[in-house]
Chains A and B, each alone.
Chain A
């Protein structure tokens, strides 16, 4: 149930924000490495979430 809502939220958010967000992310950065740094942070967040889930559910 919660996951349905999460997905709907992600789709709606993506539709509204994606073009602007991608432009900011990829083309407005001050340093050429910045897109990769943001990407790396997202991965770190996902890894932390996965680690939490693994240690709390399994």
Chain B
């Protein structure tokens, strides 16, 4: 039966157009994202594993080896069923480090560009037979449908269309880690088409050719040899090794790696694939026996590999052949498209970029894209040439086995990457070399007919199968053995070990043991510019900063490390891991290996995001760590740890409260880099030999604070350091000082009362006698002396009265006798009183207290306070000086500032101002009781008084007295307001 060429062309082009359309609509976001990002799409795309070999060649294998054909499906199914221990760990590594291919993974793990290049070339070499199979499937199937079609021309046309598709939808972004949603959706569609086509053919074969379940039973009873043939175990030894080969192929083949790990599909879709892909493969495998028996029954066995195509031909059912053709076309096209895209990214990173420098004048991202497109074209051309000159001489099965056993050689490397941190670069290279050498000598060379005297491709099928099993077994054994021996003999470098730790399951990744020679983003840009060009360098650094949510400009040491790691990961997606690491390497300062105390916060940061994955003892230790950390964090003492270089490693919540410096800002700073006064307080204490220092006084935000300091050396820690504890003693100190002061005042008060009483009586007597003296004499000298004696006794009386007043202030009655006072008016009256006694001085008093401000207190006492303070201010000020009274409202209190621009008070005298009998005035002008009296009155009003001098720090003069008094609460005002009005300030 010959098909019309135009019908075939139309069908083929129609299918490819549907593929283009699906990809285009997805890229344009014309299809709902719920559909294109559905896990089922990922699962179906992973069905790309079932290539034309599975669609056509598997029937030949089933015919020859019976149920052994299932090994290809079962091997891949096992890989997916074991996804949590194989695929998911690889996905995590590739995501975290932006690795886009197997070569990237190995190059990153073994820290070697050579490893990446070798993996790329071997993958390319092994993939060529696989791609050739796909081209051959199409080239062979078309002439079966129409004998006039030239197979080579069909193959060439097919290659051109596929190359176009790969370039259009597989090379859309410069970064290799960007997903190609259109490509994935189109591949999923192709998988669906091949599944539906094969199931439809199997359904037809089962129901209409074999007659359904009963018909099949009868036919098998009548022809038991066909069932026996299917159940006959293969005669060849070690055929089970193929299971392992297909297990490996499920994730090391470039197209499988691309779909499973590189396309940024949701992680959960890979979990779904753990059973979804085996189910897909089961459906495909289940279709094989009915089609095989139907082909035997209808005599369509001329070429067992294409029996699915010939079934329709021999039954004269053109639609059946068409369905088989479309199924085969979709299987072949899917794998070629993804494999070329994946190989192009590998070749770009590991072959082209290390050889070619990016021209400065060209736009970097566009240049990268065009390089990749050219590589895709080259790959398609190479694949076609391989098919044309070599591939077409072999059966699908032969080339398939060659490729699959080749891919098996990457399995030890992948397992070592995930589970054996001691595997080294040299061990890996030796293992790979040994494995591929045995593969080449045992399978490739005999197959190509180089050693054999038979013409190429003339090896018998049985011989090839035997050879392939033996070769697979031996090559794998040699590979594993050399990997182990090589790794033990030539252990990896420190860098390699740290990359191994980053890859090993459950190991903590991280930039430990690294210090950077950079301070801000410009340093990074300057480093990247020569390789990327200045604009892309700036763009990459900005992007990394944005992803980390860091501000522009100066970076803290911890942030530079985070930025460096992020940049390396992003550049790895663009240039590959080796190139990215080499680009940023010069920024690192070399440090010794091993535990670094300064990395503890980095480790902690990683552990914070890692706890979900810890189990067993590790999880319990982590719980313990969290408990101890919380204890330290919530300690009601400031605690900080420093390393030997005095860099801060730990900074608890209380330290944040004391210093106002968040832990994120303080970590990794040196003590000397802390803001004043903490740098001197902590720096000098850390430097001394004392383990304790009591009540050190510092000024914080204009107020005095006292801190006790304690420290303990961390000599038994892995690295020497020190823990500092800081205790806030401010309240204790203030209380103790107040208590001492009050005690002193009280004793002086008692003393003053006694003195006043004892002096008062004799002075009264002296005054009376002096008065009498005036009556007893007329002598002017004596009268004058009598007047002077009376004057002096008045003076003594004034002093005695002030002593009595001072003694009485400590015994004033409580707040129940307080009244509502208008502060503005009180100050105004005090100013008026002071002005009366200015002795001709022209000083200016300003009352800036709000007119409506009310407080609770004793009016006469407060008047005395203001009169005393204003008098002092007036005495200290110049003739025409300004004295200003202001009020500043706080939430619960009011601050009254009395500021003059006088000479100020020397610092050494400030601590004695409130001591009784301390005065700086000339003898006879002051008693030294004014300010102690004020202090007592303010204390009685539950207030506080402070003296700041100089008030004007620029000119170093003036004094400011700050009185803090409780504000009258608003809810108490209405009831007391009338009293104010009645009694008010009239007195």
Q: Which residues of A contact B (CB under 8 A)?
A: 1-4, 6-7, 10, 18-19, 22-23, 26-27, 29, 32, 35-36, 39-40, 42-44, 46-47, 50, 53-54, 57-58
Contacts and interface: CB of A to CB of B under 8 A. Distances in A.
Contacts of B220: 32
A32 B66 CA distance: 11
Given A3-B505, A54-B268, A27 B67 contact: yes
A42 B70 contact: no
Contact of B243 (A22, A23, A42, A43): A22
A4 B613 CA distance: 13
Contact of B615 (A1, A32, A50): A1
Contacts of B74: 39
Given A18-B243, A29-B231, A3 B77 contact: no
Given A1-B616, A18-B240, A58-B268, A6 B85 contact: yes
Nearest to A3: B85
Contact of B67 (A2, A35, A42, A47): A35
A2 B268 contact: no
A1 B614 CA distance: 8
B81 interface: yes
B282 A32 contact: no
Contact of A46 (B70, B278, B617): B278
Contacts of B233: 23, 26-27
B286 interface: yes
B230 interface: yes
A36 B231 contact: no
10 contacts: A3-B85, A18-B240, A26-B68, A26-B231, A32-B231, A44-B275, A46-B275, A46-B278, A50-B271, A54-B271
Interface of B: 66-68, 70-71, 74, 77, 81-82, 84-85, 220, 227, 230-233, 240, 243, 268, 271-272, 274-275, 278-279, 282, 285-286, 289, 419, 505-506, 612, 615-618
B271 A53 contact: yes
Contacts of A26: 66-68, 70, 231, 233
Contacts, number: 79
Nearest to A11: B415
B231 A42 contact: no
A27 B82 CA distance: 24
Chain B interface main SS type: helix
A36 B618 CA distance: 41
Given A4-B505, A35-B70, A36-B285, A27 B268 contact: no
Q: Is the interface of A mostly helix, strand, loop or mixed?
A: helix
A26 B232 CA distance: 9
A50 B505 contact: no
Contact of A39 (B68, B71, B240, B278): B278
Contacts of A3: 84-85, 505-506
B241 to A, nearest CB: 10
A50 B278 contact: no
Contacts of B274: 46, 50
Contacts of B419: 4, 7
A33 B84 CA distance: 29
A45 to B, nearest CB: 9
A27 B233 CA distance: 6
B430 to A, nearest CB: 22
Contacts of A47: 275
A47 B66 CA distance: 28
Smallest CB-CB A-B distances: 3 pairs: A47-B275, A26-B67, A46-B275
A16 to B, nearest CB: 12
Contacts of A10: 82, 85
A27 B65 CA distance: 11
Contacts of A50: 271-272, 274-275
A53 to B, nearest CB: 7
A36 B567 CA distance: 49
Contact of A42 (B66, B68, B278): B278
A52 to B, nearest CB: 11
A55 B313 CA distance: 50
A43 B83 CA distance: 13
Contacts of B289: 32
A58 B71 CA distance: 34
B505 A2 contact: no
A41 to B, nearest CB: 11
Contacts of A42: 77, 81, 278
